Amino acid sequence: MISKRLTKSLFSRSNLRAVIAIFVFLVLWEVGSRSKDWFGFPMPWVGHVPPPTAVLVAWYGLLGDPGYWQSWYMSTLRVLAGFLAAMVIGIPLGLFMAVNKTFHGIVFPSFEVLRPIPPLAWVPASIIFWPTQELSIAFVTFLGAFFTIVINVLGGAKSIDPRFFQSAQSMGSSQWDVFRRVVLPATLPSIVVGSAVGMGITWEVVVAAEMISGGGGTTGSGGGLGFFIWNSYVGGSYEQIVVGMISIGIAGFVCSELLRKLGGYLTPWLRKR
């Protein structure tokens, strides 16, 4: 009984500390932001940021605004398009590179040469190349996830214990069986990890791409959360900037968590530990 209480208090202690920490953070933020009104001088940096209470009020006002939800929808759509394209092209490419040495020798060095170029540096070239703004944003988003997924798949497939192949062959598997029943499942954990990381990058890229292309002055772009933030900045409604940031944070977090859950479901043998 004593022990039970002890563990309970132990668990709640870490939770309690988390709550305290976040609360202290919010209070400091509030005080810092209102320092100009309360103490007569703005604190450096934080003094220019809208306080959390004002952000909450602004957020509440936006909840009924269809334009705000339209931004969510647009960004999510772009992320999904770019991300799915990266999966569809990246996973087979990574697997094929791992399986075929000649192909690896030809493609991998070129791949490594292109990889250090940050995805956002592709934005202008992408706008020139693709006929619509929508496609160019999707392309840059695709690039963001693509390199990470390929590298993870390749690394995962290359680090498979060769004994797995030997044992599969000794039990009479054909080449195709080995690929389908050994290589694919053994690479699955790396695919999951690569996708989760790739998803994070995708959100990073989509925000920036929307800011650069949509916020750069061209009219008629389809909005999105990045555009929403940039628009709020240009329009001077600073509370909305923070609302936009938090919204993207939530969206990205939810997407990554969903992917992890899906990954956990696909790789049940990793669950117990």
Partner 1 sequence: MNQNQTADLLKRSMPFQTVPGEMLEAIAKLARYESYARGDVIYHQGDFADDVFIVSSGAVQHTLGIGFQATHPEKIVRSGGVFGWAAVLDNQRTRMAKTVCMERTELIRINGEELINFFKATPETGDIVMSRFATMINKEYTMPEEVAGHVPHFTQVPVTVATGLSLTMFRLSQWLKSPKPYLMMTGFGILLATWYLAVEVWKLPRFADMPGLTTVMKEWFSKDPVYGLSIWTPEYYQHIWVSVRRILIAFFLATVLGVPLGLFLGWSKTFREYVFPVFETLRPIPILAWVPLAIIMFQGSETPVIFLTFLASFYATALNTMLGVETIDESYSRAAACLGASKWQVFREVIVPGAMPFMFTGLQISIGVAWFSLVAGEMVAGEYGLGYVINTSYTMVRYPTIVIGMITLGIVGYVSSALVRMAGDYMMQWRVRELALGGR
Partner 2 sequence: MSAVMQDLKVPPQAGKAGGALKGAIRIEDVVKIYDPEGAAVMAVDHCSLDIPAGEICMIVGPSGCGKTTLLNAIAGFHSITSGKIYLDNELLCGPPEKPMAQPGADRIVVFQNGALFPWKSNIDNVAFGPMMQGKLSKKEIYEKARSIMADAGLSGTEHNFPGEVSSGLRRRVEIVRALMNEPKVLLFDEPYRALDSLTKSVMHEALLEIYYKNKVTIFFITHDLEEAIFLGHRLVIMTSRPCKPKKIIDVDIPHPRDYSVLTSTRYRQLMDETVELVHEEAKKAFSAGEKEG
Which residues lie near partner 1 (CB under 8 A)?
Answer: 13-14, 17-22, 25, 45-46, 48-49, 102, 105-110, 113-114, 116-125, 127-131, 200, 203-205, 207-208, 211-212, 215-216, 225-226, 229-230, 232-233, 238, 241-242, 244-246, 248-250, 252-253, 256
Cα angle, residue 124 at apex, residues 118 and 126 outer, rounded to 5°:
85
Residue 16 CA, chain-centre distance (Å), reads: 29
Q: What Cα–Cα distance (Å) separates residue 83 from each residue in 100, 195, 200?
A: 25, 8, 10
Q: Which residues contact 133 (CB under 8 A, 6 or more apart)?
A: 127, 213, 214, 218, 220, 221, 222
Closest distance to partner 1 from the beta carbon of 207 (Å): 5
Closest distance to partner 2 from the beta carbon of 163 (Å): 18
Q: With contact defined as beta carbons under 8 Å apart, do 201 and 145 qualify?
A: yes
Q: Which is nearer to partner 2, 101 or 163 (CB)?
A: 163
What is the rounded CA–CA span in Å between residue 237 and residue 83? 31
Site map for partner 2, 3-42, x if CB under 8 A?
A: xx-xxx----------------------------------
Q: With contact defined as beta carbons under 8 Å apart, do 208 and 230 qualify?
A: no
Q: Which is nearer to partner 2, 2 or 128 (CB)?
A: 2
Count of residues that bind partner 2 according to CB under 8 A: 5
* Chain positions contacting partner 2, by CB under 8 A: 3-4, 6-8
